[in-house]
């Protein structure tokens, strides 16, 4: 069971959106907060990212060709050729339609910088704890043998945007969608193996990782702390301590979270009746499911389904 893919899938509320930004020095662009998570890929040239209201990370970040930035909460920030360059809000008249995505052009006649900028539509109201453990700004450098898959994705994106050909309209959105998984994989794999806590450690732990996989694969199974501990060869107490230390919450609390997250996704994306969803989420009756769902989401499952279906698609 691919826990990273499952966790992100549970948060998605729409397809990623993106625009190509072409700047010639001097240029500066103030970007407002977005619903979800923001990202930037430097395709050509250099620039600076200045985070705004990002706790613990308010220093300008120098970006080079191939660099990727992921803004976990979609916080507002500035992109500029230099930290001292004044930044203006993005204007509609800067947007120029093109294939396969639109382009924002700005600046003067100095050195050129080309970026792919956009956001992933994720439900930040109920983020998966895996995502919450990321820093607010993730900065990854590609090339020189680091993160080869992420490097390849960036290079493919650059090639398709520089020279659109037959199929580019379908290829570029698919690459942007895959980019999120490559970004998060690279970050988690960069974390020290000796980390005492956190999801980076949990996903590689010989006891916690298979327990998480079991919960994700079959949330309908009547799991208990004892059955999960037995599955990974630990005592009940030792397993509970280890799971809680790495994941950040006890096994049964995480199981409940994932069951209700699974149910919410089924309510949004399927026409399955509530009885079926209750069973697939591990509840013995529709009543027990509805009670647990309302406690967690603040509304009954039927109301949640109507509201999410009525909301405009991202």
H or E stretch including 103? Answer: strand 103-107
CATH number for the domain harbouring residue 169: 2.60.120.280
Does 195 reside within a domain? no
CA 71 to mean position of chain CA atoms: 9
Give the number of domains in the chain.
2
**Bridging pattern class, strands 17-24 and 103-107:** parallel
pTM listed for this prediction: 0.85
Q: For 74-127, what is each residue's pLDDT tens digit?
A: 999 999 999 999 998 877 666 666 656 788 899 999 999 999 998 998 888 788
Residues 18 and 59 in one domain: yes
Does 173 reside within a domain? yes
Residues 180 and 105 in one domain: yes
Of the residues 160, 190, 220, the one at which a domain ends: 190
Residues 142 and 234 in one domain: no
Residues 154 and 39 in one domain: yes
CATH number for the domain harbouring residue 213: 1.10.10.60
User: What's the rounded Cα separation, in Å, for the pair 188 and 200?
Assistant: 5
Residues 33 and 179 in one domain: yes
Of the residues 190, 217, 244, the one at which a domain ends: 190
Residues 15 and 148 in one domain: yes
Q: For 250-293, what is each residue's pLDDT tens digit?
A: 999 999 999 999 999 999 989 999 999 999 999 999 999 999 99
User: What's the rounded Cα separation, in Å, for the pair 40 and 248?
Assistant: 30
Q: For 22-67, what is each residue's pLDDT tens digit?
A: 999 999 999 988 888 999 999 999 999 998 864 445 789 999 999 9
Of the residues 168, 190, 212, the one at which a domain ends: 190
User: What's the rounded Cα separation, in Å, for the pair 314 and 139?
Assistant: 26
Residues 173 and 31 in one domain: yes
């Amino acid at each position: 069971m691919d826990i990273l893919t499952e966790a992100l899938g549970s948060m998605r509320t729409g397809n990623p959106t993106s625009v190509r930004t072409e700047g010639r020095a001097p240029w500066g662009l103030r970007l407002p907060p977005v619903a979800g998570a923001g990202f930037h890929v430097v395709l050509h040239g250099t620039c600076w990212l200045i985070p705004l209201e990002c706790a613990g990370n308010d220093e300008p970040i120098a970006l080079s060709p191939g660099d990727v930035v992921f803004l976990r909460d979609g916080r507002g920030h500035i992109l500029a050729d230099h930290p001292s360059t004044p930044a203006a809000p993005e204007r509609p008249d800067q947007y120029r339609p093109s294939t396969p995505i639109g382009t924002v052009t700005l600046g003067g006649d100095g050195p050129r910088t080309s970026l792919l900028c956009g956001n992933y539509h994720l439900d930040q109201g109920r983020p998966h704890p895996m995502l919450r453990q990321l820093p607010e700004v993730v900065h990854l450098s590609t090339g020189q043998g680091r993160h080869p898959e992420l490097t390849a994705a960036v290079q493919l994106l650059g090639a398709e945007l520089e020279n659109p050909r037959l199929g580019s309209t379908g290829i570029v959105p698919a690459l942007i969608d895959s980019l999120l998984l490559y970004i998060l994989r690279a970050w988690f794999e960069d974390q020290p193996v000796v980390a005492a806590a956190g999801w980076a450690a949990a996903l590689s732990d010989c006891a916690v990782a298979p327990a998480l996989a079991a919960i994700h694969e079959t949330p309908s199974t009547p799991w208990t702390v004892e059955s999960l501990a037995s599955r990974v060869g630990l005592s009940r107490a030792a397993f509970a301590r280890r799971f809680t230390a790495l994941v950040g919450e006890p096994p049964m609390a995480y199981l409940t979270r994932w069951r209700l997250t699974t149910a919410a996704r089924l309510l949004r994306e399927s026409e399955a009746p509530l009885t079926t969803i209750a069973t697939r989420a591990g509840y013995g009756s529709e009543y027990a499911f509805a009670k647990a769902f309302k406690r967690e989401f603040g509304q009954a499952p039927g109301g949640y389904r109507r509201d999410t279906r009525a909301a405009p698609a991202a």
